[in-house]
Structure 1
Amino acid sequence: MIELGQGTAAPAAADLIKEGTEASFMADVVEASQQVPVIVDFWAPWCGPCKTLGPMLEKAVTEAKGAVKMVKIDVDRAQSIAAQLQIQSIPTVYAFYKGQPVDGFQGAIPQSEIKAFVDRLVAQGGGAPGGEEDGLAEALQTAEDMLAAGQAEDAAQVFAAIAGEAPDRAAAHAGLVRAHIAMGDLEQAEAILNGVDASISHAPELEAAHAQLQLARQAADAGPVDDLRARVEADPDDHQARIDLAKALHATGNTEEAVDQLLESFRRDREWNDGAARAQLFTLFDALPPQDPVALKGRRRLSSMIFA
């Protein structure tokens, strides 16, 4: 598989880019992604677009200087893994972080989109250069503290001021969205999300804010917890009732039990309604901070179910 670009790799590339197998998948991908995001490139020697995409991915991973890693999986030699992840066409690329698929795409895409994809993963893994160690970082923290203290209107003013001064600060726009969600102004929150510049629209902070907006909209339609719980107890395989119960639980602040209910639905029938339980879990995980213990525990449990 020299054709995928190993001949031009930097000397340290062996630590960043490797060939994976079914036997090494848990160690190379699931376990390694506990430290940094891991990109998995599903390809085959007979796939022309794969041979174009592979070197482009390698280039972007190498330029990230260790903030992400890459594993190449030949689907002809790893049919079980490909089936578990429902790989239906190649090239398909998945990104794992903390043992969980967090992003991905199918088909060959331009180098600019590959770079944006890798940059999102670098940011999600905490390895983005630069950070926010400047004067605006203190203002951002002040706004976050206001929001946590229930002072949503004051926080919104500070976030808006920061976003006006530094339009490329995704954290400021995301904070402004969350402040409007806290005030119950979901239309304005959505307008802010729709108005951010395309260059930062996929930043992890904004993706999380979007997930929080989705959950806030669901909360408005959530039914009574007791009624939904009774429906689930009467019929444990009523997946719609269980997912609605999870939404209602989250709306009342019981996120951990919401995750438990969704995991139980996934355990019983992972394919129900096109994987609705898994999709709802992703939304919940995306809305929580990356190191939130509920999110970390839930991701680990979901991974163990997927790769059992």
Structure 2
Amino acid sequence: MNALSPASTARAPDLIFDTHLEHFEHDVIQASHTLPILVDFWADWCPPCRALTPVLERVIAHYDGKIHMAKVEVDEGDNMKLAGRYALRGFPTVLLFVGGEIVGRFSSAHPEQWVREFVAEHTGIE
């Protein structure tokens, strides 16, 4: 799948959501006990972040509800504290949570196939 289909586009908002420091525990940590949560730490001023966003959206659509994605805008509110908590050194950085724990991470933009392989390796979801 190289682009979001109309059906996937309609579901994408349910699968991809914004979260913030005050909701992170519920939205990500607790939710990851039910299904994997990919967390995209990004900044508006970051060109690689803008390049990675559509790739991540296509990957989430591909998995059709088997994995969700939280987006954390690091310059918004106290969100930079989350970046510090997880020792992020640059953006974009993506963390994958399963069962309340980080099971994988990567930084910088990557091609869609690479991200799919990352998800499959760390979750067993094909």
Q: CA deviation at 1:122?
A: 4.2
Match of 1:17 in 2: 16
Q: How does 1:43-58 map to 2 (within 5 A)?
A: 43-58=42-57
CA contact (8 A) 1:37 1:121 kept: no
Ranges in structure 1 where 5+ consecutive residues have no aligned partner: 130-308
Q: CA deviation at 1:68?
A: 0.7
Ranges in structure 2 where 5+ consecutive residues have no aligned partner: none
Cα separation, 2, equivalents of 1:95 and 1:67: 13
Q: TM-score, normalised by structure 1?
A: 0.37
Cα separation, 2, equivalents of 1:20 and 1:28: 7
For these two proteins, the number of residue pairs brought into alignment is 119
Cα separation, 2, equivalents of 1:122 and 1:100: 12
Match of 1:83 in 2: 84
Q: How does 1:53-68 map to 2 (within 5 A)?
A: 53-68=52-67
Q: Which has the higher contact order (CA 8 A, sep 6+)?
A: 2
Cα separation, 1, equivalents of 2:25 and 2:10: 25
CA gap of 1:71–1:16, structure 2 versus 1, over 3 A, is same
Q: What root-mean-square deviation, in Å, do the aligned CA atoms of Structure 1 and Structure 2 show?
A: 1.8
Flag as ranges the 4+ runs of structure 1 deviating above 4 A: none
Cα separation, 2, equivalents of 1:81 and 1:97: 17
Q: CA deviation at 1:18?
A: 0.4
Letter of the structure 2 residue corresponding to residue 16 of structure 1? L
> Highest Rg: 1 or 2?
1
Q: TM-score, normalised by structure 2?
A: 0.87
What percent of counterpart residues are identical? 34
Q: How does 1:82-231 map to 2 (within 5 A)?
A: 82-123=83-124, 128=125
Letter of the structure 1 residue corresponding to residue 20 of structure 2? T
Q: CA deviation at 1:11?
A: 1.4
Q: CA deviation at 1:110?
A: 1.6
